């Protein structure tokens, strides 16, 4: 067999035509976040109250929450008021805001307490846990997100 030397020719670099970058005419939406951590309500009961006000404007949601008889409504009112105060500090008008997300997550399960009633197998032998929750509320400007046209 012959040892032939093969010439490897380099291919000329192909020019990629890049499309011109167009600046975005719309400014990005501003997001305002409010949080409450380690709230002494069970997440399940907070979610039931949050479901009532999930699609409402922040000011209307506070009005709805004040009329609810649930104790968990007080914690949600505080988070909504905190979010509106954060928006005011950021220079945004509360009338221009809408709710982007309202999340209620589980916190740590607090101290266990013994209960006096019957200790059946279905109820964890009479041990009660004091549950906690974390609340996160995001408000966004109405310009593009959630605007009614």
Residues paired with 141 in a beta bridge:
97
pLDDT at 71: 93
Worst-scoring range by mean pLDDT, 5-14, 53-62, 90-99, 126-135?
Answer: 5-14
Please write the tens of the pLDDT for every residue from 64-118: 999 999 999 999 999 999 999 999 999 998 888 999 999 999 998 877 777 676 6
CATH code of 31-109+127-141, in short, is 3.90.470.10
pLDDT at 55: 81
Domain spans, the chain: 31-109+127-141
Whole-model pTM: value is 0.71
């Amino acid at each position: 067999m012959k040892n032939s030397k093969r010439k490897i020719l380099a291919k000329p670099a192909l020019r990629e035509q890049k499309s011109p970058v167009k600046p975005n005419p719309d400014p990005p939406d501003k997001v305002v976040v409010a949080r409450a951590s380690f709230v002494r309500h069970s997440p399940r009961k907070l979610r039931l109250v949050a479901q009532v006000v999930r699609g409402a404007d922040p000011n209307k949601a506070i009005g709805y929450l004040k009329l609810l008889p649930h104790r968990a409504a007080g914690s949600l009112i505080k988070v909504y008021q905190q979010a509106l105060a954060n928006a005011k500090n950021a220079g945004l008008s509360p009338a221009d805001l809408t709710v982007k997300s309202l999340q209620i997550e589980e916190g740590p399960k607090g101290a266990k307490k013994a209960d006096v009633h019957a200790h059946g197998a279905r109820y964890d032998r009479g041990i009660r846990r004091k549950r906690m929750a974390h609340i996160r509320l995001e408000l966004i400007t109405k310009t593009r997100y959630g605007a009614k046209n």
